Amino acid sequence: MGIDNRIGIGLMGLGVVGSGVAKALLEKAGQLTKQAGGTLVLEKVLVADIDKHRPVQMAPGLLTQDPRRILDSPNIGIVVELIGGEDPAAAYIESALKNGKHVVTANKDVMAKFGPELLQLADQNGVEILYEASVGGGIPLLLPLKQSLAANDISSIRAIINGTTNYILTKMSQDGLSFHIALREAQEEGYAEADPAKDVEGLDAAYKLAILATSAFQSTVRPSDIYCQGITRLGEADFLHARELGYEIKLLAIAKKTEGAIEARVHPVLIPADYLLAKVTGVFNAIQIEGDLVGQVLFYGKGAGSLPTASAVVADIIAVARSIRGPRPEPMPAGTVVQDMVPVKPIFDLVSPYYLRMNIADQPGVLAQIAHVLGDRSISIASVIQKRADPVTHSAEIVIMTHPAREQFMDDALAEMAKLSVVREICNFIRVEG
Amino acid sequence: MGIDNRIGIGLMGLGVVGSGVAKALLEKAGQLTKQAGGTLVLEKVLVADIDKHRPVQMAPGLLTQDPRRILDSPNIGIVVELIGGEDPAAAYIESALKNGKHVVTANKDVMAKFGPELLQLADQNGVEILYEASVGGGIPLLLPLKQSLAANDISSIRAIINGTTNYILTKMSQDGLSFHIALREAQEEGYAEADPAKDVEGLDAAYKLAILATSAFQSTVRPSDIYCQGITRLGEADFLHARELGYEIKLLAIAKKTEGAIEARVHPVLIPADYLLAKVTGVFNAIQIEGDLVGQVLFYGKGAGSLPTASAVVADIIAVARSIRGPRPEPMPAGTVVQDMVPVKPIFDLVSPYYLRMNIADQPGVLAQIAHVLGDRSISIASVIQKRADPVTHSAEIVIMTHPAREQFMDDALAEMAKLSVVREICNFIRVEG
């Protein structure tokens, strides 16, 4: 935009990611100009407080507290929104698109909730909105989905897209820590926030899954469509049993496209220990995508952090710059605007194998009663582990693995079993994947 | 190209990959038209024998034995070369580019040997040549490298890019098979050819590495620049020792960019067993790329096969079609033409830790003699494992792990040690990575 192949950039937000982007734009100017086919010029940077001390050196006059200096500037062709959160970021993005500016954003909240509408708005205004950094940090996902896998019908996504929970689960699995101790370690390491609810309840993963699923299936999947269960109920015993049965426990974000419906859910799963996804440890992310031609591919890397996220943001800036440097804007790549509307299945319709862990009375006939409740709902048992009873409490722990069953029936069975006097506690039930 | 947004495609070769591509083009016509923004029309298919029975149904008149019917056809805008091998494929590609036709190819031989020249030829003729399928089958690699990671300086590639050898090494490691038995199993499973030399000697991996490294570093890396050592000398004992030391043995293709030089080599390595690359088993491929912003990312999937490879070929066709459907051809994305010429280091200049396995005489002072030879060349020992001696032969097996040392000195030391009367055999030496 503008003369001399100058492409003006307005950066909104100079936090962790914004600083990384500003640093890359300033320090790698030569390389980026070559890549973008034009000079990327940082015109304005929106900050909350102009006088705050910052680690990134900025030319005087670059900073502003007034969003209109970016959104209305004729010198700015690309607005890079890195404020995060829904408000006021969503309004800024909308305003930028309406003003005919391309938008690059890392905002998962906005894209998960309003992605399809913003893509349409961009299309109407002949501009692009790119948001690779909103899922999986610097891991290439949305571009490969849209381009490299364009010939595929995507049938499933199975993803570890929350580093905090994967770190906690790794600690619980490898070091035998309880959830609370592992969480505290994650907080001490800076991997979990003081209020960890969004991560440990699976909400962060659900937002990212909404973006991935919408992109993969070309059909709107909202965060509110996604069944979401966190990791707070997992106990040390679950990890021990899982290992014994040949599984790992992971918080997976899962989306599948089946005949006429989409499945989208975030919850802990047992996955076979020899799957590559099961071997992804620590704060790393891994996203496995299955297509009819390509089979399974997996993308792995750091899902957060200043520089990895900046890597994706700057790549998007380069892609937009390439498309605007010619005499006409490149037409929207096909498939960026959501076309189909496939319904999202409620969790009750899920069909999955289950792992159940219960505390039962140590007396004859208990297993028969439990089997009866399950059998009545056409749930068949694949295997049972019963541990030695506790002579003091006269109770025993039992683990049941079922064959695939409908969640609704399983839910029913759990309610019924809870009423049995011989069942002391239903400690946990975990879906099995793969 | 052509009227009515028709994009004419000439397919050269109807073997394993060609059939997959033809199948996808014919069966997914609607979806691909949407993606490509134009109708992809299969105009002609070059085959060696027009009368051969084929599993893919083709309209009569589509097949030809005359390459000029494709290369000179005014109706064909994209030539898809899937013949494989250097001759006559290279000449066809060159002719297509000179005739102003875009080229999509899966040909690793041609792209490894002549990639930089063909990219330049394409640039001169205002067309594109895309070759995603030439490395890693359907795994997105070249597009993410060029676009998603465009803001990064790529510092290293570590890749398992030969499924045959990874299958053999997996069998040797997990089932304790010898190389020859594992190879026979791979041949029985259809994973290895009757003449497995190109795979087991590492040549196939070296060709793919040349393509990856040239693309990642924007500097010409030829197959002849790449040091190459296969897996035929690995013994069961190496796998046992590696495991004991906390490593796996993999055939890695490694390229690194250091100050003023590129390192490029294919050989077996010991890598720490907890690395994700170490956990990639069977015929799968995995490519780990490190950039200054993104850190380490890894891409995983099937590196061969009809449909996975077709996935990449068709994605390239769609990308080309998108760029030509507008009134002007999209300018070449920056970075597709190789710009720098960084020298490739000879293997003698490599600095690496080493694993040595030797058979030595079971008598006092042997280790001192060996340590002396190493120490004289500034090679320091990190650890030693000595197994119980064989009372019949009076010999013992010894494994030495060194700290990083210059290959030239290590080579020297090996020659010197081989002269020692107490050294019965230098069974193997393996570089350690990571």
Strands A395-402 and A354-361: antiparallel
Query: Mutate which of B257, B294, B309, B313 to test chain A, going by most A C-beta atoms within 10 A?
Result: B294
Structure confidence by residue, pLDDT tens digits, A176-207: 999 999 999 999 999 999 999 999 999 999 99
- With CB atoms and an 8 Å threshold, state whether A315 touches B37: no
Cα separation, B166 vs B169, in Å, equals 5
Residues in B touching A307 (Cβ below 8 Å): 292-295
- Architecture of the structural domain at A348-432: 2-Layer Sandwich (3.30)
Q: How confident is the model at residue B325 (pLDDT cuts 50, 70, 90)?
A: low
- B38 to chain A, minimum CA–CA distance in Å? 10
List residues of B with catalytic annotation.
Answer: 208
Q: A328 at the B interface (CB within 8 A)?
A: yes
Q: A331 at the B interface (CB within 8 A)?
A: yes
- A417 to chain B, minimum CA–CA distance in Å? 41
Phi and psi for B274 in degrees, rounded to 5? -90, 0
- B263 to chain A, minimum CA–CA distance in Å? 22
**Type of residue numbered B176:** G
Q: Which of A22-31, A385-394, B344-353, B356-365 has the lowest mean pLDDT?
A: A385-394
Phi and psi for A392 in degrees, rounded to 5? -75, -50
Cα separation, A77 vs B280, in Å, equals 44
Helices A163-175 and A236-244, axial angle in degrees (round to 10): 70
Cα separation, A268 vs B350, in Å, equals 45
The β-bridge partners of A6 are A39
Confidence (pLDDT) at B96: 98
Q: A310 at the B interface (CB within 8 A)?
A: yes
Cα angle B421, B234, B302 (rounded to 5 degrees) comes to 165
Cis geometry, peptide bond prior to residue B88 (ω within 30 degrees of 0):
yes
- Closest CA in chain B for residue A131: B148
B347-432 under CATH 1.10.3090.10, yes or no: no
Q: Which residue has tokens 């956990």? A: B279
Query: Mutate which of A21, A32, A148, A298 to test chain B, going by most B C-beta atoms within 10 A?
Result: A148
Q: A44 at the B interface (CB within 8 A)?
A: no
Query: In chain B, what percentage of residues exceed pLDDT 90?
Result: 86
- With CB atoms and an 8 Å threshold, state whether B144 touches A149: no
A146, A208, A256, A345: which is the annotated catalytic residue? A208
Facing B139 at nearest CB: one of A297, A302, A335: A297
Phi and psi for A182 in degrees, rounded to 5? -65, -40
Exposed / middle / buried, residue A97 (Cβ in 10 Å: 0-12, 13-18, 19+)? buried
Please determine, for residue B336, whether its predicted confidence score (pLDDT) is greater than 70: no
Structure confidence by residue, pLDDT tens digits, A257-314: 988 899 999 999 999 999 999 999 999 999 999 999 999 999 999 999 999 999 999 9
Domain edges within chain B: 6-138+306-324, 142-302, 347-432
- With CB atoms and an 8 Å threshold, state whether B138 touches A295: yes
- Closest CA in chain B for residue A132: B148
Query: In chain A, what percentage of residues exceed pLDDT 90?
Result: 85
- With CB atoms and an 8 Å threshold, state whether B310 touches A149: no
Residues in B touching A149 (Cβ below 8 Å): 140, 311, 315
Q: A5 at the B interface (CB within 8 A)?
A: no
Please determine, for residue A56, whether its predicted confidence score (pLDDT) is greater than 90: no
- B296 to chain A, minimum CA–CA distance in Å? 6
What are the angstrom distances between the C-alpha of B41 and each of A174, A334, B99? 55, 18, 19
- CATH class of the domain at B6-138+306-324: alpha beta
- With CB atoms and an 8 Å threshold, state whether B151 touches A310: yes
Please determine, for residue B428, whether its predicted confidence score (pLDDT) is greater than 90: yes
CATH number of the structural domain A142-302: 3.30.360.10
- With CB atoms and an 8 Å threshold, state whether B24 touches A151: yes
Exposed / middle / buried, residue A167 (Cβ in 10 Å: 0-12, 13-18, 19+)? buried
- With CB atoms and an 8 Å threshold, state whether B311 touches A149: yes
DSSP three-state, residue B390: strand
**Type of residue numbered B242:** A
Strands B227-228 and B154-160: unpaired
The β-bridge partners of A285 are A301
The β-bridge partners of A354 are A431
**DSSP letters spanning B154-199:** EEEEEEE--HHHHHHHHHHHHH---HHHHHHHHHHTTSS-SS-HHH
Structure confidence by residue, pLDDT tens digits, A308-340: 999 999 999 999 998 876 444 444 454 456 767
Average pLDDT rounded to a whole number, residues A23-28: 93
- With CB atoms and an 8 Å threshold, state whether B314 touches A150: yes
Residues in A touching B147 (Cβ below 8 Å): 140, 143, 315, 318-319
Residues in B touching A310 (Cβ below 8 Å): 151, 293
Q: How confident is the model at residue B389 (pLDDT cuts 50, 70, 90)?
A: confident
Cα separation, B403 vs B77, in Å, equals 56
Confidence (pLDDT) at B110: 98
ipTM for the complex shown? 0.94
Exposed / middle / buried, residue A388 (Cβ in 10 Å: 0-12, 13-18, 19+)? exposed
- A380 to chain B, minimum CA–CA distance in Å? 33
Cα separation, B82 vs A148, in Å, equals 18
Q: How many residues can be counted in chain B? A: 434
Query: In chain A, what percentage of residues exceed pLDDT 70?
Result: 96
Q: B196 at the A interface (CB within 8 A)?
A: no
Facing A297 at nearest CB: one of B35, B293, B300: B300
Structure confidence by residue, pLDDT tens digits, B1-59: 444 689 999 999 999 999 999 999 999 998 899 889 899 999 999 999 988 888 788 88
- A80 to chain B, minimum CA–CA distance in Å? 15
